[in-house]
Amino acid sequence: MLVSFAGNGSVAPMFNAWYTLRVHDLPLGEYREMQNPFIALGLGAEASREQVRAAHHARVKLCHPDVLSDAEDQRRAQERLVQLNLAYAEAMRQASRRESVNVTIPEAKAVARRLLSHGHCDSALRILAKAPNRDSEWYEIHGSVLLKKGEPEAAHASFRIAVRMEPQNPRYRELALAAGVAMRRKKTLGGMVAAWMRHVVGK
């Protein structure tokens, strides 16, 4: 019985070729690691691309051959480095494919509202972008995220689309008005200073 990497794509054959080993030669933990690139990186199967990058970076620093003096340790570290690099490439491929899949518009709106409530504006925008179509509520949420990010012009544009799509909704009109006020405030000296401070602190 052979251990092979459970994955498809251009990276998987390379991983299999390097790590096709007999099961009785591997401890159980290493056997599982060989089967799953996320385990090799110390991650769960639902890890994001950002988490994959961070885990790979941290683990490579720990086993880089240049930090070792013993020849045998360097050889083992080099093997481990190859494993980590291959696992990283395959985990990124799987995470990218998973994150690129469209979500339904109700899912996108619900998740985006939750992210917005916690201040995760960029993540909210990314999930909104995955929605296959857009309704007035989508534009309302999109505008709210942009307004929280300190981008009243873009927010105002989204709110105006929401108003055009549902002109009888008073909340959309109120939000468009609030974005317009924020636009005018931003053009004042105090507003420009506040915008510069937000940019400096990364908010």
Considering the chain, what percentage of its residues have pLDDT values greater than 70? Answer: 72
pLDDT of residue 103: 78
Domain finish residue from 100, 128, 154: 100
Cβ atoms of 47 and 55 closer than 8 Å? yes
Domain boundary among 84, 100, 116: 100
The reported pTM is 0.48
DSSP string of 13-39, one letter each residue: HHHHHHH-EEGGGS-HHHHHHHH-HHH
CATH number assigned to the domain comprising residue 90: 1.10.287
Q: 19-61: per-residue pLDDT in tens? A: 433 333 434 344 344 568 888 888 887 788 889 999 999 988 8
My answer on whether 93 and 129 are in the same domain is no
Instruction: For residues 95 and 114, state if they share a domain.
Output: no
Q: What is the CATH number of the domain that holds 130?
A: 1.25.40.10
Query: Alpha-carbon distance 63 to 54, whole Å?
Result: 15
Instruction: Quote the pLDDT of residue 12.
Output: 47
Q: Which of 76, 100, 124 is the last residue of a domain?
A: 100
Whether pLDDT at 4 is above 50: no
Provide the domain count of the chain. 2
| 59 plus 125 within the same structural domain | no
Within this chain, do residues 196 and 112 fall inside the same structural domain, yes or no?
Answer: yes
For the stretch 175-200, pLDDT in tens is 999 999 998 888 775 555 565 565 55
Together in a domain, 57 and 92? yes
Q: What's the pLDDT band for 142 if we cut at 50, 70, 90?
A: very high
Same domain, yes or no: 14 and 91: yes
State the residue range of the domain holding 74: 2-100
**Distance between start and end Cα atoms, the chain:** 54
Q: For the chain, how many residues are written?
A: 203
